[in-house]
Amino acid sequence: MRQSMLDDFWGDDEEDDDTQKDKYLTFRLDKEDYGIEIRHIKEIISIQKITDVPDLPDFVKGVINLRGQVIPTIDLRLRFSLAAKEYDERTCIIITKMNDTPVGVIVDTVNEVLDIPAQNISPPPQIYSHFHFLPMNINSVLYGIQI
């Protein structure tokens, strides 16, 4: 029973691709809005206890336990070389998948889901990872939003 719940949670919803076309979950980092295609979002949770893992880059905050699944969590502010900010009641963790691995992405605040035409989307910044143990190919899911 538990495995089928997890399969449903992480399952591939190809049939939803048409209904999710041009839909983006928008969020804020500092004074900029960004978006992730809604098809890449698994869940949005409030900030919670993050367990530190030694010898990782500063932007990798550690791991969280989400219903028994250990999920690496990155602070997108730090990944984008923005100033650190103390987490508050608006801070959220967006659970997404990168290279078939669930990852939590910490953002300042989640805004809303918007229909955004392709011509209003800026290409994502090029981000390189020197750490092969954690998928950082965020370019496949993160977009700049021009509203």
The tens-digit pLDDT sequence of the chain (147 residues) is 333 333 444 454 555 566 777 888 989 999 888 888 888 899 999 999 999 999 999 999 999 999 999 999 999 999 988 999 999 999 999 999 888 889 999 999 999 998 888 777 776 665 544 433 333 344 444 544 443
Residue 6: both structure tokens together: 């997890």
- What pLDDT does residue 22 have? 81
CA–CA separation, 97 vs 142, rounded Å?
A: 11
- What pLDDT does residue 134 have? 38
Pairing of strands 69-75, 60-66: antiparallel
In Å, what is the CA distance from 82 to each residue of 29, 30, 67?
Answer: 8, 8, 31
- What pLDDT does residue 20 have? 74
Number of H helices, E strands in the chain: 2, 10
List Cβ neighbours of 130 (8 Å cut-off, separation of 6 or more): none
Contact in structure between 109 and 27 (CB atoms under 8 Å): yes
CA–CA separation, 144 vs 147, rounded Å?
A: 10
CA–CA separation, 37 vs 15, rounded Å?
A: 15
Q: Which fold has domain 21-145?
A: OB fold (Dihydrolipoamide Acetyltransferase, E2P) (2.40.50)
Pairing of strands 101-107, 92-98: antiparallel
CA–CA separation, 50 vs 40, rounded Å?
A: 22
- What pLDDT does residue 125 have? 61
CA–CA separation, 40 vs 116, rounded Å?
A: 15
